[in-house]
C-alpha cells in the first residue's frame, strides 16, 4: 500500500500547480481551471484518506466537492460572460475601475 | 420619580419643538424650557440630601431601576441629586431659557431644529448631573456631544465644520481615555462591587476594595486610572495643554451655543473630575497634588496670557474660560472644604458669568456683525444698556466682590492657601491668584478699545440699541450673578455639605 | 420542547427560508413575464419574518439550550441546533427581511427582479444551514450555498461595469478561497479521519506526526473563514464587491454574510479545534486570530478614513468591524466564563452591527435611487431634503462609531471589556484607537449631510421621490439600533448563554 | 433711647439707594438724580454725626450682622466669612469725614456737572452714590475680607467715574489704568486676606478673637495660630502678611511705585477727583493700615517699610508736582505726596498723627479740588495754569478758600495741615532716631516740606495772581452758590480742623485736654479694648522697641520746638521761593533752569514709560504664547489627525484594483499565517 504521505505530497503538488496557475494566468478561464485543480487536490486527499481510515465520509465528500465545483464553474462562466460583454475581454486585469 | 419626569419632560419638549414650525419654535422652546427651570426650583425647595451622594450620604430624589447585567455587574437607571449636583442642575435649567431667548435674534434658519437640539442637549445635561450609575452617566455624557456637534456645525461661523469636527473627535477621544481609566478601576475592584453604581464603586474603593489585576498592584491601577480619567476630563474642562478645541468651538458657535458651551458643558468636565478623580481616588489626587496644582496654575496664567493676545472678543472670553477653569482645578486638588466647595461654586458662578459675557458679545455682534477689537470703538455710545451690562459682567469676570465670581474664587483661594495636603500651597495659590490681575488687564484693554472712545464702526446701516429680548437675558443673568455674589450661601451651604465628605477622603497630618 | 414534536422541527427556521426560496421560484414560474416585484418582495419578507419569528420563539422556549436538554443533533450529528445557531439565524433573518423590503424600491424599475429575491433567500437559507452545521462537510456545502448566490447577486446589474467588476473580483477571490478552505478541510480530514466537529476535536489531541498537516489545514480553514468575514488578508474583494454591488446586496453581504462567516468560525474553532486541544497540537490559532483582528481593524479603519466614496467607506468600515468581531476569537483565554463573555460580546456586536450596517447601506441604496451620487460631497446638504432618512443615517454612523446613546456603544463596550477581562488589553487598546479614527470618518458623513451646503440649489432636486419601502427599512433599522440600547440586556444574556454552551 | 448703631447700615445703604434710584430712574428725575444723592449723603452725614456722638458717649459696636459663607478651614473650627460693623472712635470719625465730603461733592456737582450741561448725569450720580456707599461700607467693615470687598468696589467706582467721559480717548484709558494699577496692589492685598484667614481662621479687626489679638497672643506665647506655612518663624510670617496687605494700600493710596494711576485719574470730573483724593479711594489705603494697626504694630519691619515708602513717596511726588502746568496735575501729585506723609506717620507708629493728617487732608484737599473745579468752570475747562492768572479779583470766594487750603497743604501755622504734618514729622523724628529706615523716611519727609510749599504756592500764584494770561481768564464764568457753599464750608474746616489735636501746644504750654483727637483715639471717651492709641503704643514698645528718643539729649519740649520750627521754616522758605519766582505780573517758566532734571520730572521719572513698557512686553509675551499655542499645541492636535490620514492614504494603496495582485497578496498572507503559526507552534523543530 502506498503510504498516505505520498498522497499528501501529490495533493500538495496539485494544489501548488493550481495556485501557480491562479497567480500567473490573467485569463479568467485559466483562473477557473486552476481553481478546479486546487479543489481536486483536496479531493485526492479525501479519497485517499477515506481509504486509509476505511470510512466513506471522505469519498462522499469528494463527490460533494465535485458537484459544488461544477456549480461554481457555472456561476463563474456566467460572470465571465458578462465580463466579456462589458469589458470586451476575459482578462481579469482589465477591470480596475474600483481601487484604493 | 420626579427626576425622571423632569428629564423626560425635557426630552419630550425637544421633540415637540423639533416638529414645530420655524416661526414660533423659538417662543415655544422658551415657554417649554421654563418648565424644567420651575421644576428645578421645585427640586431645590424639596431638596433633602445630606452629605455626598457618592460617599454614602442621603441622596435626594433617588431612583434606581435595574437595567441589564454585563460581566457580573448590573447597570441601572440610577439617578439622584446631592449638594454638588443640584446647583449645576439649577444652573443648567436657568441658562437654557436665557440662551433660547438670546437665540431669537441671531438664529434665522431652521429654528425648530435649533431649539429642539438645544432642549435635547439640556435634557442630556440634566442627565449628566443627575446620573449616579456610571453607564447611565456616560450615555448622557456622550449624548451631549451630538447636539453640540450639530449646533456648532450647522449654525456656526465660517469655520464651523472644522470646529465642530475638532470638538467632536477631540472630546470623544478624551471620553474614551476616561472610559478606559474608569473601567480599569472596576476590573481591579473585581467582585467587591456588583454594579456600576457610582456610590458603590466609590465606597468600595474607599474600603480598600481595589485588588491586583493582571499582575498590577492596586496602587498602580488606581494611579493609571486616575491619570487616564484626569486626562480625559481635562480635555473637557479644558486644561492646558489640551484646550485648543475650545477657542475654535467658541468662535464658531452661535451665541446661545457658546453660552451653554461655556456655561454648562465645561462644567461637565470639572464636575466629573470632582466626582470621579477627586472623590473616588483622593489618595492618588493628593499624591499628584503638586503636578495638578502646577497644571492649574499654568492654565490660569497661560490661559490669561492667551486671552491677552486675542483680537476676537469671543476668543478672549474663551481663553479666559480656560483661565477660570484653572482655579477650579486648584480648588479641587487642595482637599479643603473651601477649596472643593469653592470649586463647585465657581462652576456655577463661572457658568453664569461666562454665559453673560458670551451673550453680551453676541448682542453686540447682532448689531455690528463683527467681534474684532480693532473694528469698532465707542459702542457704549450706541448701545448703552448692553455695554453697561457687559462692563458689569466683565467686572464679575475679574472677580469683583459681591458678584458670584469673587465668591467662588475667594473660597478657592482661602481653601487653597493653607491647604495641608498640597505642598507649597501658598506659593501655588499666590501664583494662581495673579490671574486676577491679568484678567483685569485684558478685559479692561478690550473694553477700552471697543466700548469706549469715540464711536467708530463702518456699516452701511445705523447701529442702534438692542431689542428688549436681547437685553433682558443679560439683565437676568447679571441679577443672578449679583444675588449669588451677595448671598453665596444659597448654594454654598449645600455644596459644602456635599463637599465635606470628599475632603475627609484625604488623610493628611496637619 | 415537548416530546411529541419531531426533532426535525428544530430546523424550522432553515426550512422556512428554503421553502420561501422555492415559493419565489414558483411565483416567477407562474408569471414569468409579469412584473411581480411587489409580490416577490412581500413573499420573501414574510418568509424571512416567519423564520425570524420562529427563531425568536425557539430562543424564548429554550430550544437546544442546556436548560432543555442541550443541543438537538440531527442527521447523524451533521446538524446541531443550539442557541448559537438560533441567535445567528435571527441575525440572518432580520437582515434578509430588511434587505428584501428595501429591494422592492431599489429594483422597482429593474427588468427581472425575481432572481434577486430568490438568490437572496437561498443565500439566507445557506447561512441558516451554516449556523447549524456540525460537520466540516456541511460547513463547506453551506458555505458554497451562501457564496454562489452571492457572486450572482453582486454581479446582478449585468450592464453595470461596476457591478460586473465587483462580481468578478468577488468570484475569483471567493473561488480561490473556497479552494483553499476545502483543501484545509481535506488536510484536517487527513489528519483526523473525521469531519464531525466533536470527533475532530477528540482526535486532534492525540495526533502523532500529522500535527503539522492538521496545523496547515487549520490555517487554511482560517483563511476560508477570513474570506467570508472579509478579514485581512482575505479582505481584498470586499471594498470592490461592496462598492460595485447593488446597495441592498452590499447590505446583505456586509451584514448577514459576514455574520455567517463568524458563525462558522465560532463553531469550528470552539468545537472542532478547541483551544486546549489545539495547543496540544501546537496550533495557536488564538494568537493568529488576535493578530488578524488587530491588523484587520487597523487596515479597515485607516483606509476608511481617507475614502471619498461613501459606499466604499462603509465597505472598509465593514472590514474594520470584522476586526472587532474577530476579537471574539482572538481574545480567548481558555477560561470558560471569560471566553463565553467575549464570544457572546462578539455575537451581540454582530447582531447590533447587522441592524446599523444594513441600515447604513440601505441609506446608500436610497441615495443611489435618488441619484445624488456616491461621494461625500454629493451628500452635501441632503438633510434638508430628507431629514428623517438623514437622521436615521446619523444614528447608524454614530452607532457604528460606538457612541453611547446608541446600541453600537454597548456592544463594542462589552466586546472590549471581555477582551480586557481575558487579558488581551492590547487588543482592546488597538480597538479603542481605531474607534477614535472611525469617529472621524463616520462623522464626515454626518457633516456632509447636515453641515455642508449643496453645490447648487438644484443639485438635490432629484430627491423628491419617496421610496416607501426603502424608507421603512431604513427607519426600522434606525429604531432597532436605538431600541437595542435599552434592550441590550436580553441580547447580551442570550449571546453569552449561547456562547457558554460552546466551552 | 434709640440705638444709633442700629442705623449704621443705613449710613451705607442710603447712598446705595441713591445709586439704585439714579441708575433706574435718574433720567426722569430733576437734575439727573442729584437730589437723591444729596439727600442720601446728607442723611448719612446726620446719622454719622449721631453715631459719632454716641461713640463720644462711651459706646462702641463690634458685631457680625451677616454670614456670607462658612466652611471648614485648616484648623478644627470653621472659617466664617462674615459681614459686620465695627464702630469705634476711628471709624466713627471717618464716617463723618467721608459723608461730609461726599455731601459737599454732591452739592458741588450741581454746579460743576448740571450747570455745565453735562450728559449722562444719572450715570454720574449713580457712580457717586455707589462710590460713597462702597467707601462707607469699607469704613464700617469689621473684618479684613469685608474691607477688601468694599475696597475693590471703591476701585470699580473709581473706574466708572474716572471714565465718565467715555466718548473721549483719554478718560477710558485713565480709568483702565487706575483700576489696573490698583488691582495690581489689590492682588497682594487679596493674598494677604487669604493668608490672614488661613493663618488665624478669622479676619476680624477687633475683639478678643480678632486676628491682631491672636497674633499678639501667638507672638507672646500665650496662644497659637491655626497655620503657618512651612517652618516660617511667626514673626517673619506676620511680616510677610503685613507686607502683602500693604500691597493693596500702596496701590489704593498711590504710594510709590503704584502711584502712576493717580495723576491720570485727573481725567475724571473734578468733583470726583475731590472725592477720590480727599475722602474715599486714596484715603482707604491709609485707613486700612490704621484700622489694622494692632497687627502692624507687631511687625516692626513692616512699619519701617511703610515709613520709608511713605517718606520717599512724599518727596518723590512733591518733586514732580513742581513742574506740572495743569492745575489738577499739581494737586494730584500733592495728594500722592500727602498720603506719603500719612504712611510715614503710620510707619513711625504714630497712629494718631496719621489719622489726624488724614482728616485735615480730607478737608483741605477736597477744598483745593473743589476750588480747582470752580476755576475750571470759570475757565471753561481749560486747566492750564499758564492760561490763568489774576483770578483773585474775579473770583474772591474761590481765591480765599483756595488760599486757606493751600496754606494748610503747605503746612503753614496755624492752618490745619501744619498741625498734622508737624506731628507726623515730629513722631517720625523721635522714633527714627532709633531706626535708620525710619530716619530716612523722616529726612525725605522733611525735604518734601519746602517742595510742597513751593509747588502749592506756585500754583496759587500762577492761578490767581498776576495778570490774566488769556481771554478766558479775563472774563471767567461766574460760579453759583452750589460751588461757593461747599468751598466755604471746607475753607473754614481747613483753617480750624487743626485745632482738634494741638499736641505741641499741650506739651509746650502744658494745657491739658486740648489733644482731643488723641484722647478720642485713645478711647478716652470709650471704644473697644485693644483698639486704641495706647494699646498700640504698648504693642509697639513690646515688639518694635518703639520709644521716643531725644535729640542730643534735649528735652522733649526742645526737640518738639526744633522739629516744628524746622518744618515750618522750610515751608516758609518754599513759599517764599514761589513768591519770588511766580508772584509777578507775568511769570515765566523757570523750569528750563532745571536742565535735564526737567525732562525727568515732566515725564514722572519715566515710571509711566516703564509701566507701559512692561505692558507692551507682556503683550509681546502673550503674542508669543498665542503663537506657541496655535503653532505647537494646536499643531500637535491637528498633526495627529494629519498623520492618521496620511497613514490611511498609505493603507488604501494596497488595494490596487488588480485582482491578480489580490490573489498574490492573499497567498502571501496565508503563507505568513502558516509561518507564524508554524513558528509559534514549533512545527519546524
In a domain, C409, yes or no: yes
- Helical residues (DSSP H) of C257-309, grouped into ranges: 258-267, 275-280, 285-305
pLDDT greater at residue D326 or residue B363: B363
Produce one character per residue of A43-67: b if its CB has 16 or more CB atoms within 10 Å, e if not: bbbbbbbbbbbeeebbeebbebbee
pLDDT tens string B160-183? 888 888 888 888 888 888 888 888
Confidence of residue C250 (pLDDT cuts 50, 70, 90): very high
Q: What percent of chain D lies above the pLDDT cut of 70?
A: 97
Q: Is D637 in the B-facing interface, judged by CB distances under 8 Å?
A: yes
Residues of D in Cβ contact (< 8 Å) with B493: 70
Helix (H) or strand (E) holding D180: helix D170-200
Partners of C73 in beta bridges: C80
At residue D360, does pLDDT exceed 50?
A: yes
Residues of A in Cβ contact (< 8 Å) with C193: 49, 52-53, 55
Q: What is the pLDDT of residue D498?
A: 79
Confidence of residue B216 (pLDDT cuts 50, 70, 90): confident
Q: Choose the closest CB to C306 out of D648, D666, D678.
A: D648
Confidence of residue C359 (pLDDT cuts 50, 70, 90): very high
Average pLDDT, chain B: 88
**Chain D residues near any Cβ of chain A (below 8 Å):** 652-653, 655-660, 663-664, 667
Q: What is the pLDDT of residue D324?
A: 81
Q: Choose the closest CB to B142 out of C404, C432, C451.
A: C404
Residues of B in Cβ contact (< 8 Å) with C398: 146
D647/C299 touch (CB, cutoff 8 Å), yes or no:
no
Q: Could you tell me the residue ranges of all domains in chain A?
A: 26-87
pLDDT tens string C467-501? 888 889 999 999 999 888 888 888 888 888 888 88
Helix (H) or strand (E) holding D61: strand D61-72
Average pLDDT, chain C: 88
Q: Choose the closest CB to A96 out of D652, D658, D664.
A: D658
CA distances to C283, C285, C331 from D676, in Å = 10, 10, 17
Q: What is the pLDDT of residue B100?
A: 92
At residue B293, does pLDDT exceed 60?
A: yes
Average pLDDT, chain D: 83
- Give the residue among C304, C474, C307 at the shortest CA–CA distance from C375: C307
- Are B406 and B400 in contact by the 8 Å Cβ rule? The answer is yes
Interface test with B, best of D75, D194, D199 (most B CBs within 10 A): D194
> For residue C18, with 0-12 CB atoms within 10 Å meaning exposed, 13-18 middle and 19 or more buried, which class applies?
buried
Residues of A in Cβ contact (< 8 Å) with D660: 23, 26, 92-93
At residue C465, does pLDDT exceed 70?
A: no
> For residue B457, with 0-12 CB atoms within 10 Å meaning exposed, 13-18 middle and 19 or more buried, which class applies?
middle
pLDDT tens string D215-246? 888 888 877 777 888 778 888 888 888 899 88
The Cα D548–Cα D544 span in angstroms is 12
Residues of B in Cβ contact (< 8 Å) with C482: none
A98/C152 touch (CB, cutoff 8 Å), yes or no:
no
- Are B83 and B496 in contact by the 8 Å Cβ rule? The answer is yes
- Are C467 and C366 in contact by the 8 Å Cβ rule? The answer is yes
In a domain, C495, yes or no: yes
Residues of C in Cβ contact (< 8 Å) with D663: 172-173, 176
pLDDT tens string B443-460? 888 888 888 888 888 777
C186/A55 touch (CB, cutoff 8 Å), yes or no:
no
Interface test with C, best of D681, D682, D683 (most C CBs within 10 A): D681
Q: Which residues contact D30 (CB under 8 A, 6 or more apart)?
A: none
At residue C459, does pLDDT exceed 50?
A: yes
B154/C493 touch (CB, cutoff 8 Å), yes or no:
no
Helix (H) or strand (E) holding C477: helix C468-483
- Are C77 and C135 in contact by the 8 Å Cβ rule? The answer is yes
Strands D78-87 and D61-72: antiparallel
Q: What percent of chain B lies above the pLDDT cut of 90?
A: 26
User: Nearest C-alpha of chain D: how many angstroms from A80?
Assistant: 14
Sequence-distant contacts of D614-618: CB under 8 A, at least 24 apart: D615/B441, D618/B305, D618/B308, D618/B441
The stretches in chain A having pLDDT less than 70 are 1
Q: What is the mean pLDDT of residues B328-353?
A: 90
DSSP code of D557?
A: H
Q: Is D679 in the C-facing interface, judged by CB distances under 8 Å?
A: no
Confidence of residue B128 (pLDDT cuts 50, 70, 90): very high
At residue B510, does pLDDT exceed 50?
A: no
Q: Is D198 in the B-facing interface, judged by CB distances under 8 Å?
A: yes
pLDDT greater at residue D679 or residue C163: C163
- B-D interface: how many C-beta pairs under 8 angstroms? 166
Interface test with C, best of B65, B71, B213, B253 (most C CBs within 10 A): B71
Q: What is the pLDDT of residue B90?
A: 92
Percent helix, strand, coil in chain D, to 5, is 75, 5, 20
Q: What's the domain count of chain C? A: 1
Verify cis geometry, omega within 30 degrees of 0, for the bond prior to C287: no
Least confident interval from B435-449, C31-45, D187-201: C31-45
- Give the residue among B174, B162, B169, D650 at the shortest CA–CA distance from C440: B169
Confidence of residue D1 (pLDDT cuts 50, 70, 90): very low
Q: What is the pLDDT of residue C3?
A: 55
Quote the cell numbers at residue C199.
Answer: 470527533
Q: What is the pLDDT of residue D122?
A: 85
pLDDT tens string D163-181? 888 888 888 888 888 888 8
Helix (H) or strand (E) holding D63: strand D61-72
Quote the cell numbers at residue C241.
Answer: 464587491
Q: What is the pLDDT of residue B416?
A: 87
Q: Choose the closest CB to C144 out of A48, A68, A98.
A: A68
Amino acid at each position: 500500500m502506498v503510504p498516505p504521505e505520498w498522497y499528501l505530497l501529490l495533493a500538495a503538488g496539485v494544489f501548488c500547480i493550481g495556485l501557480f496557475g491562479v497567480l500567473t494566468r490573467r485569463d479568467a478561464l485559466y483562473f477557473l481551471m486552476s481553481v478546479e485543480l486546487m479543489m481536486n487536490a483536496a479531493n485526492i486527499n479525501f479519497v485517499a484518506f477515506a481509504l486509509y481510515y476505511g470510512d466513506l465520509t471522505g469519498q462522499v465528500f469528494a463527490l460533494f466537492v465535485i458537484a459544488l465545483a461544477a456549480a461554481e464553474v457555472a456561476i463563474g462562466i456566467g460572470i465571465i460572460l458578462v465580463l466579456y460583454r462589458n469589458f470586451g475581454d476575459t482578462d481579469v486585469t482589465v477591470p480596475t475601475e474600483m481601487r484604493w | 420619580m420626579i427626576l425622571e419626569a423632569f428629564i423626560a419632560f425635557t426630552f419630550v419638549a425637544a421633540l415637540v419643538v423639533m416638529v414645530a414650525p420655524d416661526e414660533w419654535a423659538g417662543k415655544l422652546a422658551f415657554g417649554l424650557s421654563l418648565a424644567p427651570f420651575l421644576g428645578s426650583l421645585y427640586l431645590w425647595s424639596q431638596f433633602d440630601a445630606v452629605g455626598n451622594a457618592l460617599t454614602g450620604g442621603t441622596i435626594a430624589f433617588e431612583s434606581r431601576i435595574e437595567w441589564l447585567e454585563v460581566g457580573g455587574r448590573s447597570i441601572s437607571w440610577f439617578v439622584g441629586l446631592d449638594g454638588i449636583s443640584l446647583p449645576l442642575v439649577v444652573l443648567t435649567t436657568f441658562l437654557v431659557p436665557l440662551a433660547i431667548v438670546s437665540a431669537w435674534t441671531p438664529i434665522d434658519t431652521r429654528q425648530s431644529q435649533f431649539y429642539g437640539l438645544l432642549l435635547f442637549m439640556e435634557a442630556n445635561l440634566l442627565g449628566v448631573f443627575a446620573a449616579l450609575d456610571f453607564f447611565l452617566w456616560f450615555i448622557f455624557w456622550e449624548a451631549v456631544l451630538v447636539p453640540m456637534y450639530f449646533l456648532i456645525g450647522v449654525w456656526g461661523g465660517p469655520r464651523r465644520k472644522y470646529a465642530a469636527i475638532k470638538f467632536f473627535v477631540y472630546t470623544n477621544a478624551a471620553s474614551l481615555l476616561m472610559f478606559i481609566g474608569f473601567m480599569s478601576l472596576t476590573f481591579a475592584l473585581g467582585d467587591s462591587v456588583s454594579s456600576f453604581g457610582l456610590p458603590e464603586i466609590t465606597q468600595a474603593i474607599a474600603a480598600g476594595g481595589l485588588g491586583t489585576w493582571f499582575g498590577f498592584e492596586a496602587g498602580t491601577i488606581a494611579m493609571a486610572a486616575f491619570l487616564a480619567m484626569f486626562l480625559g476630563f481635562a480635555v473637557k474642562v479644558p486644561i492646558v495643554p489640551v484646550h485648543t478645541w475650545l477657542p475654535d468651538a467658541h468662535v464658531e458657535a452661535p451665541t446661545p451655543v457658546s453660552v451653554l458651551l461655556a456655561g454648562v458643558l465645561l462644567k461637565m468636565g470639572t464636575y466629573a473630575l470632582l466626582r470621579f478623580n477627586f472623590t473616588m481616588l483622593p489618595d492618588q489626587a493628593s499624591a499628584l497634588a503638586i503636578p495638578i496644582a502646577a497644571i492649574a496654575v499654568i492654565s490660569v496664567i497661560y490661559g490669561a496670557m492667551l486671552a491677552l493676545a486675542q483680537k476676537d472678543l469671543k476668543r478672549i472670553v474663551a481663553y479666559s474660560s480656560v483661565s477660570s477653569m484653572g482655579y477650579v482645578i486648584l480648588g479641587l486638588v487642595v482637599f479643603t472644604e473651601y477649596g472643593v466647595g469653592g470649586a463647585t461654586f465657581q462652576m456655577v458662578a463661572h457658568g453664569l458669568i461666562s454665559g453673560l459675557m458670551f451673550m453680551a458679545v453676541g448682542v453686540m455682534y447682532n448689531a455690528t456683525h463683527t467681534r474684532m477689537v480693532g473694528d469698532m470703538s465707542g459702542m457704549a455710545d450706541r448701545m448703552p444698556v448692553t455695554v453697561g451690562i457687559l462692563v458689569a459682567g466683565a467686572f464679575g469676570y475679574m472677580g469683583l466682590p459681591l458678584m458670584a465670581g469673587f465668591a467662588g474664587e475667594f473660597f478657592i483661594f482661602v481653601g487653597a492657601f493653607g491647604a495641608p495636603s498640597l505642598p507649597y500651597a501658598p506659593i501655588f495659590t499666590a501664583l494662581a491668584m495673579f490671574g486676577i490681575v491679568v484678567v483685569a488687564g485684558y478685559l479692561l484693554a478690550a473694553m477700552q478699545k471697543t466700548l469706549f472712545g469715540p464711536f467708530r464702526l463702518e456699516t452701511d446701516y445705523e447701529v442702534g440699541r438692542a431689542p428688549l429680548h436681547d437685553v433682558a437675558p443679560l439683565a437676568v443673568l447679571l441679577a443672578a450673578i449679583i444675588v449669588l455674589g451677595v448671598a453665596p450661601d444659597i448654594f454654598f451651604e449645600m455644596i459644602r455639605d456635599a463637599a465635606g465628605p470628599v475632603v475627609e477622603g484625604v488623610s493628611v497630618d496637619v | 420542547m415537548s416530546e411529541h414534536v419531531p426533532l426535525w422541527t428544530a430546523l424550522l427556521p432553515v426550512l422556512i427560508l428554503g421553502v420561501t426560496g422555492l415559493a419565489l421560484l414558483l411565483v416567477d414560474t407562474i408569471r414569468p413575464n409579469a412584473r411581480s416585484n411587489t409580490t416577490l418582495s412581500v413573499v420573501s419578507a414574510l418568509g424571512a419574518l416567519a423564520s425570524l419569528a420562529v427563531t425568536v420563539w425557539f430562543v424564548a422556549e429554550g430550544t437546544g439550550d442546556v436548560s432543555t436538554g442541550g443541543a438537538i443533533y440531527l442527521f447523524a450529528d451533521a446538524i446541531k441546533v443550539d442557541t448559537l445557531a438560533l441567535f445567528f439565524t435571527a441575525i440572518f433573518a432580520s437582515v434578509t427581511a430588511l434587505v428584501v423590503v428595501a429591494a422592492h424600491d431599489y429594483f422597482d424599475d429593474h427588468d427581472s427582479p425575481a432572481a434577486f429575491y430568490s438568490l437572496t433567500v437561498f443565500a439566507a437559507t445557506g447561512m441558516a444551514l451554516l449556523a447549524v452545521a456540525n460537520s466540516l462537510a456541511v460547513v463547506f456545502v453551506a458555505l458554497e450555498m451562501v457564496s454562489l448566490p452571492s457572486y450572482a447577486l453582486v454581479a446582478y446589474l449585468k450592464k453595470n461595469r461596476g457591478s460586473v467588476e465587483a462580481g468578478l473580483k468577488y468570484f475569483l477571490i471567493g473561488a480561490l478561497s473556497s479552494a483553499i478552505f476545502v483543501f484545509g478541510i481535506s488536510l484536517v480530514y487527513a489528519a483526523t479521519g473525521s469531519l464531525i466537529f466533536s470527533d475532530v476535536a477528540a482526535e486532534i489531541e492525540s495526533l502523532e506526526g500529522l500535527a503539522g498537516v492538521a496545523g496547515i489545514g487549520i490555517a487554511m480553514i482560517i483563511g476560508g473563514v477570513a474570506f467570508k468575514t472579509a478579514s485581512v488578508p482575505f479582505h481584498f474583494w470586499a471594498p470592490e464587491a461592496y462598492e460595485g454591488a447593488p446597495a441592498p446586496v452590499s447590505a446583505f453581504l456586509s451584514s448577514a454574510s459576514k455574520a455567517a462567516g463568524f458563525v462558522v468560525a465560532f463553531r469550528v474553532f470552539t468545537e472542532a479545534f478547541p483551544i486546549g486541544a489545539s495547543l496540544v497540537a501546537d496550533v495557536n490559532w488564538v494568537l493568529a486570530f488576535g493578530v488578524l483582528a488587530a491588523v484587520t481593524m487597523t487596515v479597515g479603519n485607516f483606509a476608511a478614513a481617507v475614502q471619498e466614496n461613501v459606499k466604499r467607506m462603509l465597505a472598509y468600515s465593514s472590514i474594520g468591524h470584522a476586526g472587532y468581531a474577530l476579537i471574539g476569537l482572538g481574545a480567548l483565554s481558555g477560561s470558560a466564563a471569560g471566553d463565553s463573555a467575549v464570544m457572546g460580546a462578539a455575537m451581540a456586536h454582530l447582531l447590533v452591527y447587522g441592524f446599523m450596517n444594513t441600515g447604513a447601506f440601505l441609506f446608500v441604496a436610497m441615495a443611489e435611487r435618488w441619484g445624488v451620487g456616491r461621494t461625500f460631497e454629493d451628500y452635501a446638504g441632503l438633510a434638508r431634503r430628507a431629514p428623517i432618512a438623514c437622521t436615521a443615517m446619523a444614528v447608524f454612523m454614530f452607532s457604528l462609531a460606538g457612541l453611547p446613546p446608541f446600541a453600537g456603544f454597548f456592544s463594542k463596550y462589552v466586546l472590549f471589556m471581555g477582551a480586557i477581562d481575558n487579558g488581551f488589553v492590547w487588543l482592546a487598546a488597538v480597538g479603542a484607537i481605531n474607534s477614535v479614527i472611525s469617529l472621524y470618518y463616520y462623522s464626515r458623513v454626518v457633516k456632509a449631510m447636515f453641515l455642508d451646503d449643496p453645490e447648487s440649489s438644484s443639485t438635490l432636486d432629484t430627491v423628491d421621490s419617496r421610496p416607501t419601502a426603502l424608507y421603512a427599512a431604513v427607519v426600522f433599522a434606525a429604531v432597532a439600533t436605538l431600541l437595542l440600547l435599552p434592550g441590550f440586556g436580553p441580547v447580551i444574556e442570550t449571546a453569552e448563554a449561547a456562547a457558554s454552551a460552546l466551552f | 433711647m434709640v440705638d444709633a448703631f442700629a442705623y449704621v447700615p443705613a449710613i451705607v445703604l442710603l447712598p446705595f439707594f441713591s445709586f439704585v434710584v439714579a441708575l433706574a430712574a435718574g433720567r426722569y428725575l430733576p437734575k439727573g438724580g442729584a437730589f437723591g444723592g444729596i439727600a442720601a449723603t446728607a442723611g448719612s452725614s446726620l446719622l454719622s454725626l449721631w453715631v459719632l456722638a454716641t461713640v463720644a458717649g462711651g459706646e462702641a459696636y463690634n458685631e457680625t450682622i451677616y454670614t456670607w459663607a462658612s466652611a471648614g478651614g485648616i484648623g478644627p473650627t470653621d472659617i466664617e466669612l462674615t459681614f459686620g460693623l465695627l464702630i469705634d472712635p476711628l471709624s466713627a470719625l471717618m464716617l463723618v469725614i467721608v459723608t461730609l465730603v461726599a455731601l459737599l461733592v454732591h452739592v458741588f456737582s450741581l454746579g460743576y456737572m448740571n450747570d455745565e450741561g453735562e450728559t449722562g448725569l444719572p450715570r454720574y450720580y449713580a457712580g457717586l452714590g455707589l462710590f460713597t456707599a462702597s467707601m462707607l461700607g469699607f469704613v464700617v467693615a469689621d473684618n479684613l475680607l469685608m474691607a477688601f470687598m468694599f475696597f475693590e468696589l471703591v476701585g470699580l467706582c473709581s473706574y466708572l467715574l474716572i471714565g465718565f467721559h467715555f466718548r473721549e480717548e483719554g478718560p477710558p484709558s485713565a480709568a483702565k489704568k487706575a483700576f489696573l494699577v490698583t488691582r495690581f496692589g489689590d492682588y497682594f492685598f487679596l493674598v494677604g486676606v487669604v493668608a490672614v484667614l488661613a493663618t488665624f481662621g478669622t479676619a476680624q479687626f477687633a475683639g478678643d478673637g480678632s486676628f491682631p489679638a491672636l497674633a499678639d497672643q501667638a507672638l507672646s506665647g500665650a496662644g497659637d495660630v491655626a497655620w503657618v506655612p512651612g517652618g516660617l518663624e511667626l514673626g517673619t510670617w506676620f511680616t510677610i502678611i503685613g507686607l502683602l496687605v500693604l500691597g493693596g494700600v500702596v496701590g489704593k493710596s498711590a504710594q510709590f511705585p503704584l502711584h502712576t494711576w493717580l495723576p491720570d485719574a485727573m481725567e475724571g470730573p473734578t468733583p470726583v477727583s475731590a472725592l477720590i483724593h480727599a475722602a474715599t479711594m486714596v484715603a482707604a489705603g491709609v485707613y486700612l493700615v490704621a484700622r489694622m494697626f494692632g497687627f502692624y504694630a507687631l511687625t516692626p519691619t513692616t512699619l519701617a517699610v511703610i515709613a520709608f515708602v511713605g517718606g520717599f513717596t512724599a518727596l518723590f511726588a512733591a518733586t514732580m508736582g513742581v513742574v506740572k502746568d495743569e492745575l489738577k496735575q499739581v494737586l494730584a501729585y500733592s495728594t500722592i505726596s500727602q498720603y506719603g506723609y500719612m504712611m510715614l506717620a503710620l510707619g513711625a507708629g504714630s497712629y494718631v498723627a496719621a489719622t489726624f493728617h488724614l482728616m485735615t487732608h480730607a478737608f483741605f484737599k477736597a477744598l483745593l479740588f473743589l476750588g480747582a473745579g470752580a476755576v475750571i468752570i470759570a475757565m471753561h475747562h481749560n486747566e492750564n495754569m499758564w492760561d490763568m492768572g489774576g483770578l483773585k479779583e474775579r473770583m474772591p470766594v474761590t481765591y480765599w478758600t483756595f488760599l486757606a487750603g493751600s496754606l494748610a497743604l503747605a503746612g503753614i501755622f496755624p492752618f490745619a495741615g501744619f498741625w498734622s504734618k508737624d506731628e507726623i514729622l515730629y513722631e517720625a523724628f523721635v522714633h527714627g532716631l532709633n531706626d535708620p529706615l525710619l530716619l530716612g523716611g523722616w529726612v525725605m519727609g522733611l525735604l518734601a516740606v519746602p517742595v510742597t510749599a513751593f509747588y502749592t504756592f506756585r500754583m496759587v500764584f500762577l492761578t490767581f495772581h498776576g495778570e490774566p494770561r488769556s481771554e478766558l481768564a479775563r472774563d471767567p464764568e461766574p460760579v453759583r452758590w452750589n460751588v461757593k457753599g461747599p468751598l466755604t464750608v471746607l475753607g473754614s474746616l481747613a483753617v480750624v480742623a487743626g485745632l482738634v489735636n494741638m499736641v505741641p501746644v499741650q506739651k509746650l504750654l502744658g494745657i491739658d485736654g486740648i489733644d482731643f483727637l488723641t484722647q478720642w483715639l485713645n478711647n478716652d471717651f470709650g471704644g473697644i479694648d485693644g483698639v486704641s492709641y495706647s494699646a498700640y503704643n504698648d504693642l509697639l514698645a513690646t515688639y518694635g522697641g518703639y520709644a521716643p528718643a531725644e535729640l542730643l539729649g534735649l528735652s522733649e519740649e526742645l526737640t518738639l520746638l526744633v522739629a516744628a520750627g524746622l518744618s515750618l521754616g522750610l515751608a516758609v522758605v518754599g513759599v517764599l521761593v514761589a513768591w519770588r519766582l511766580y508772584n509777578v505780573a507775568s511769570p515765566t517758566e523757570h523750569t528750563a533752569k532745571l536742565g535735564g532734571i526737567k525732562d525727568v520730572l515732566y515725564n514722572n521719572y519715566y515710571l509711566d514709560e516703564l509701566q507701559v513698557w512692561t505692558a507692551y512686553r507682556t503683550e509681546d509675551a502673550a503674542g508669543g504664547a498665542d503663537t506657541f499655542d496655535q503653532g505647537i499645541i494646536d499643531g500637535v492636535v491637528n498633526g495627529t489627525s494629519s498623520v492618521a490620514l496620511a497613514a490611511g492614504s498609505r493603507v488604501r494603496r494596497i488595494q490596487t484594483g488588480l485582482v491578480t495582485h489580490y490573489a498574490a497578496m492573499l497567498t502571501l498572507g496565508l503563507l505568513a499565517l502558516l509561518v507564524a503559526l508554524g513558528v509559534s507552534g514549533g512545527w519546524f523543530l
